[in-house]
Structure 1
C-alpha cells in the first residue's frame, strides 16, 4: 500500500467515514491514477477537472460520478490539503461567477 493511500485511509477513519464509503473513495483515487498513469499528488487541478468532465461525457451513472467526485474531493482537500476551487460548494461557485462578471 502506498503511503498516500495509507494516509487517505487514516484520514477517512478519523473523519468517521463508513468502511464502504472508504472503499469507494479509495477506488475513485485509484481510477484517476490509472487514467493518467501518474501519482494523484502529481496531478493538477485542471487534470482532475478534465477527468471529471470525461466521466460526464462517457455517461457514467449519476451515483458513480458523485462518489468519484466526493472521493477525489476528500483526497485533495483532506489528505493533500489542496484548496482547489474545483471542489468548492454552490456558494463558492456563485461567488466566483459574480467576481468574473
Structure 2
C-alpha cells in the first residue's frame, strides 16, 4: 500500500508556500489609533458612537481591515468650498 513518492513530489513540497497569517491585511486598534494620531480612547468612543470604519473583534482585541479603513476615509472625503460658511466678524455692517 505504501508507495514511494515520485521524484516530482519532493520538489513540489519544497515550493509550497507556508500558510499566510490570517490577520494579514488587518491592523490592531492600537496601530489604527497611532496612524490616525489620536488616543486609543478616541477610537473606542468613535466605535461606540458608530463613527468608525468597520471592525472585527477577535477575543477582546479589535482589528481593522486596511482596505475597509481606506474605503471609509474616501467615503468621508470632502472638497473644500470656496465660500465661507459664516460671515466674518466686522464686515458688511
Category of TM-score, reference length = shorter chain: under 0.3
Larger relative contact order (C-alpha < 8 A, sep ≥ 6)? 1
Q: Of Structure 1 and Structure 2, which has the larger fraction of its residues in helix?
A: 1
TM-score, scaled to structure 2: 0.28
Where is the strand percentage greater, Structure 1 or Structure 2?
Answer: 2
Bigger Rg, structure 1 or 2:
2
